[in-house]
């Protein structure tokens, strides 16, 4: 049975381009994988905490030495990593904020990049054999060849950090506001075919 983990990031709800396109992706994925399992992790509903001193203690000391505070801090990371480990396909729907990713997505990434769990001590990614699709909603046109293409820090960072934990099969769909509309009203019309192809790939 295939499992899709969908990570929603946008705070814009029904007015979000990325959420409209992730919904389209999920609908097509369900049709292509009858009986498949869907897990939705909405970072606006359950915001991952930032890494703190207790988390560091949990990540770098044996579990038998964990205090209740440390155990509670690392438990969230354990849960998020378990979702990733169980998934065959990871879908990330996110806006671009100031050329990069929102802080809440960075907080999520910091929770799931862990030495000895998702990446080895000698820097080998451990989450292999998975595919990721990133739907990146942007206010401008950052497509290849555009005048501001080089300012797109989000795509490169997400490719790099996913590869770091072993996920190298990554497709990124750039959904610019000029085509998607200010509230995503034409997002599916303009980018739906690319999303459908990503499901089939």
14-71 pLDDT, tens digit each: 899 999 999 999 999 999 999 999 999 999 999 999 999 999 999 999 999 999 999 9
| Distance, CA of 98 to CA of 138 (rounded, Å) | 10
Report residue 156's pLDDT band, with 50, 70 and 90 as the boundaries: very high
> pLDDT above 70 covers what percent of the chain?
100
pLDDT at 125: 98
* Residue 7: predicted pLDDT: 98
Average pLDDT, the chain: 94
List strand residue ranges (DSSP E) for 51-168, in order. 89-95, 131-138
Which among 29, 24, 28, 12 is positioned nearest to 189, based on CA atoms?
A: 24
Band of the pLDDT at 143, cuts 50, 70, 90?
confident
170 contacts 162 by C-beta, under 8 angstroms: yes
Distances (CA, A) of 137 to 4, 170, 182: 20, 16, 11
pTM score: 0.95
């Amino acid at each position: 049975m295939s499992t899709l983990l969908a990570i929603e990031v946008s705070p814009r709800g029904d007015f979000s381009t990325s959420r409209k396109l992730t919904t389209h992706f999920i609908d097509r994925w369900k049709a292509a994988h009858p009986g498949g399992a869907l897990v939705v992790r909405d970072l606006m509903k359950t915001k991952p905490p930032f890494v703190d001193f207790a988390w560091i203690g949990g990540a770098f000391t044996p579990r038998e030495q964990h205090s209740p505070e440390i155990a509670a801090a690392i438990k969230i990371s354990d849960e998020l990593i378990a979702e990733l480990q169980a998934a065959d396909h990871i879908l990330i729907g996110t806006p671009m904020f100031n050329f990069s990713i929102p802080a809440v997505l960075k907080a999520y990434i910091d929770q799931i990049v862990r030495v000895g769990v998702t990446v080895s001590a000698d820097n080998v990614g451990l989450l292999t054999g998975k595919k990721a699709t990133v739907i990146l909603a942007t206010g401008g046109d950052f497509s290849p060849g555009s005048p501001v293409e080089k300012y797109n820090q989000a795509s490169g960072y997400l490719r790099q950090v996913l590869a770091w934990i072993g996920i190298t099969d990554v497709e990124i769909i750039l959904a610019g506001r000029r085509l998607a509309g200010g509230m995503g009203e034409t997002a599916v019309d303009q980018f739906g075919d690319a999303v459908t192809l990503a499901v089939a790939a």
